């Protein structure tokens, strides 16, 4: 049985307000917050975020790292790499959200991310 998660901690609300302004959405639309610690050697494998999510807004903290993207083409993968600066934010919307997969190879220096997500179904 699913139960509602705890509310987003107050300490994250100013950050949520900033990414919401970047996305042009109400802060309350970002109903999930996820903080990830990447210790040296930790990364995240290729994936697209779950289809129930709509906008993914991320804040990159600590070290910079390659943020890799790929999408399948007839002849193989088309690839792109961003390098989000520490204390910068990014939005995954449109094709970067729906079509491209993303991953982060094992980091060399400690990094954190805080991601906020809106949901397609407001009831989720």
Residue of minimal Cβ distance to ligand AKG: 113
Quote the CA–CA distance of 34 and 24 in Å, as a whole number.
Answer: 20
Residues 23-62, one symbol each (x = binds Fe ion by CB under 5 A, - = not), give --------------------------x-------------
Range 17-76, binding ligand AKG (CB under 6 A)? 34, 36, 44, 49, 58, 60
Quote the CA–CA distance of 75 and 72 in Å, as a whole number.
Answer: 8
118 binds, among ligand AKG, Fe ion, none (CB under 5 to 8 A by kind): none
């Amino acid at each position: 049985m699913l139960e509602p998660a705890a509310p987003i901690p107050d300490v994250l609300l100013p950050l949520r307000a900033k990414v919401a302004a970047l996305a042009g959405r109400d802060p309350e639309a970002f109903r999930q917050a996820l903080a990830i610690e990447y210790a040296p050697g930790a990364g995240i494998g290729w994936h697209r975020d779950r289809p129930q999510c709509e906008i993914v807004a991320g804040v990159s903290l600590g070290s910079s790292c390659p943020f890799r993207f790929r999408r399948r083409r007839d002849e193989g993968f088309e690839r792109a790499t961003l390098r989000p600066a520490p204390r910068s934010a990014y939005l995954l919307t449109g094709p970067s959200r729906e079509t491209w997969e993303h991953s982060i190879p094992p980091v060399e220096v400690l990094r954190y991310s805080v991601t906020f997500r809106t949901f397609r179904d407001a009831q989720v």
